[in-house]
Amino acid sequence: MAIEYQGELWTIQRWVSGFYNNAYLITCKSSNKSVIIDTPDQPDELIAAAGETDVNAILITHNHWDHLEGFDVVTDQFQSPVGIGANDADAVADKDGYRDPIDVSQDNILQVGEIAIRCIETPGHTPGSTCYLLPGDTPGSAPHVFTGDTLFPGGPGKTGSPEAFNQIVESIPNRLLTLPANTVVMPGHGDFTTIEASAAEYAVFASKPREAGLFGDVTWQ
């Protein structure tokens, strides 16, 4: 686990799994309450770090297996409410660990200690893909948004059809690029970026005529 943000009110730690998935642990400093974001395979390190805290919620960005392979072991360890987008919930609906579902529909706020996470519905990569926004914890400090496989440095997440691609290129400008420019984008794989950098990249893409039927692995430029 690496500390990626050390604020006044909370810390954000990241764990990178063997399959290069990012999972996150957000911990409220005053209450020691925490939130886990995504549950990749063999999450021993994540569980060890989260075990030092009082896990109040497990949030899933979307229903792809690589973000869920550690779901059973994490939810066995921590009997916490679980949130996943309604349109992705089938993947975990039958699991014992899917308990006390958290409503993660658009603009819902999840309060855990001082942490107030806003849910943002961003369909496209999957129908129920959901991003989770942490505001800055002091005036002037950067917000953080956990984007799963919806937004990466350089492009959107992979889409499975032209319709899904149209959805993701609605979700990203309307729901993510409208966030403060200094917002740190923390995706489900790889490196971080910012909303400012993503907006600049997207502007290049939006300025060019779009190939009909585009989908799959698309980059902004």
What is the smallest separation between the CB atom of 221 and Zn ion, expressed in angstroms?
22
Shortest Cβ 76–Zn ion spacing (Å): 23
Residues that bind Zn ion (CB under 5 A): 64, 149
φ/ψ (deg, to 5) at 169: -85, 0
CB of 64 or CB of 144, closer to Zn ion = 64
Measured from the CB atom, the residue of 149 and 201 that comes closer to Zn ion is 149
Nearest approach, Cβ of residue 149 and Zn ion (Å): 4
Nearer to Zn ion, 27 or 61 (CB): 61
Dump strand ranges (E) for the chain.
2-6, 10-16, 22-28, 33-37, 54-59, 82-83, 109-112, 115-121, 130-134, 144-148, 151-152, 155-156, 184-187, 193-194
Closer residue to Zn ion (CB): 49 or 151: 151
| Closest distance of CB 86 from Zn ion, Å | 17
In angstroms, the Cα distances linking 50 to 3, 31, 43, 86 are 13, 14, 10, 25
